[in-house]
Structure 1
Amino acid sequence: MLGPEVVDLTELPGVECPCGVARRAFAEREDFPGTVHWTQIQCDAKTHYHREHTEVYVVLECGEDAAIELNGRLHPVRPMTSVLIPPGTRHRAVGEMNVMIVCLPKFDPQDEHFD
């Protein structure tokens, strides 16, 4: 078992994703089953889904009109809103927001699917 680890998400490289720019932590940890992502969403994201991943979004900051679209239905969000997104759920962020995402199992870009 590996020891504890502290990661400054602001120092991780940003990676373009369907939602904006993600900074992902703990992908290399064999003793942790998931990844943690700080994602900055600058505009409406592309609708996508995952066959294997479950995601939990925690909204840190967002505009007044921000929402999460789940299977075609808009759900308004505000800071400290948490959203559970099971596999197969078509989803996207609408509006600008900063979110923390916990992804289980570990994020795999091959598990991003678009209709």
Structure 2
Amino acid sequence: MTVLNLRTQPPFTTKDGSTIRSILDRANAPVQNQSLAEAQVPAGGATQRHYHKLSEEFYFILEGNGEMEINGEKRTVGPGDAILIPPGAWHTIVARETLRFLCCCAPAYAHEDTYFE
């Protein structure tokens, strides 16, 4: 059985500029096909616009609010919102207030699967 606590996971900065803590992924558990992380973007900050060739992502907003952009379509997001980011979709999230959200990727997040303009 694998049980990990978020508080014990060290934060790191992803290739797109967000700060995340892996909850479960290939680096800390015997995970095969997905990853789960907590991400934070400070008020006034944003992730660098990017896409993933392989990974489908879900964002689930826990705290704060901001604007999500996927392939040019923009929407205000806040606590309780779940966002689907298909593989190959250009995306960024801008924080009006500090955002804290869960990010699930399948297959698991990899720096090598993050592409920029």
* TM-score band w.r.t. shorter chain: 0.7 to 0.9
> Which amino acid is the alignment partner of residue 23 of structure 1?
R
Amino acid at match of 1:74: K
Which deviations, in whole Å up to 9, do the C-alpha atoms of 1:33-77 show, x marking residues without a partner? 2110100111121101000000000000113xx111111221111
Alignment map for 1:1-115 (pairs within 5 Å): 3=1, 5-17=2-14, 18-28=16-26, 29-30=29-30, 32-42=32-42, 43-63=45-65, 66-95=66-95, 96-115=98-117
TM-score between both structures, scaled by the size of structure 1:
0.87
Alpha-carbon distance in 2 for matches of 1:84, 1:113:
18
CA distance in 1, matches of 2:13, 2:50: 14
**More divergent stretch after superposition (49-58 vs 87-96):** 87-96
Q: Structure 1: which 4+ aligned runs deviate by more than 6 Å?
A: none
Identity over aligned pairs, percent: 25
Tell me whether 31-40 or 89-98 shows the greater mean CA deviation. Answer: 31-40
CA contact (8 A) 1:19 1:93 kept: no
TM-score (norm 2): 0.86
Unaligned runs of 5+ in 1: none
Whole-Å Cα distance in 2 between the matches of residues 85 and 75 of structure 1?
13
> CA offset at residue 27 of structure 1?
2.0
RMSD (CA atoms): 1.4
Shift of 1:31: 5.0
Query: Which stretches in structure 2 are left out of the alignment for 5+ residues?
Result: none
Q: Secondary structure at the match of 1:110?
A: helix
SS state of the match for residue 50, structure 2?
coil
Number of aligned residue pairs: give it: 110
Alignment-mate amino acid for residue 8 of structure 1:
N
The residue type equivalent to 1:82 in the other structure is A
Q: By how many angstroms is 1:79 displaced?
A: 0.2
